[in-house]
Amino acid sequence: SGDGMPNPELLGGDPSPPESPEPKPATPPQQSLRKRPKICCPRYGERRQTESDWGKRCVDKFSIIGIIGEGTYGQVYKAKDKDTGELVALKKVRLDNEKEGFPITAIREIKILRQLIHQSVVNMKEIV
């Protein structure tokens, strides 16, 4: 045709636009195959810490060797377990300026550290 439009016969012979597919009925989203990890759970083979366990251990069982670093909520110390001789990092959280109690960022950090097992990440052993 001379109007600049392509000839429908050359494009498949049907001048009408293709029909859109039937709309699918709305279904609830499928749960993905990969579930998000539960951060609050103990590691495999680890006993869950109960409220009665809190306060049974004390930082006095560690001898402080020196300060490693300092952050927003306190200091991190290099220390040695007096019973086992194991070298550890102690994080002392400062709460004196906190009106809301224990900082939510520290709680998030604890939850994440309890789940991480990697050679480049310090292993969290316990909360005292």
CB atoms inside a 10 Å sphere around CB 79: 19
Adjacent-strand bridge partners of 78? 66, 89
List residues forming the annotated binding site for ATP.
91
φ and ψ at 48, to 5 degrees?
-70, 135
Beta strands (DSSP E) in 72-113 are: 74-81, 87-93
Per the CB < 8 A criterion, the answer to whether 103 and 32 are in contact is no
- The residue length of the chain stands at 128
Binding-site residues sit at: 91
C-alpha closest to that of 38 among 102, 111, 113: 111
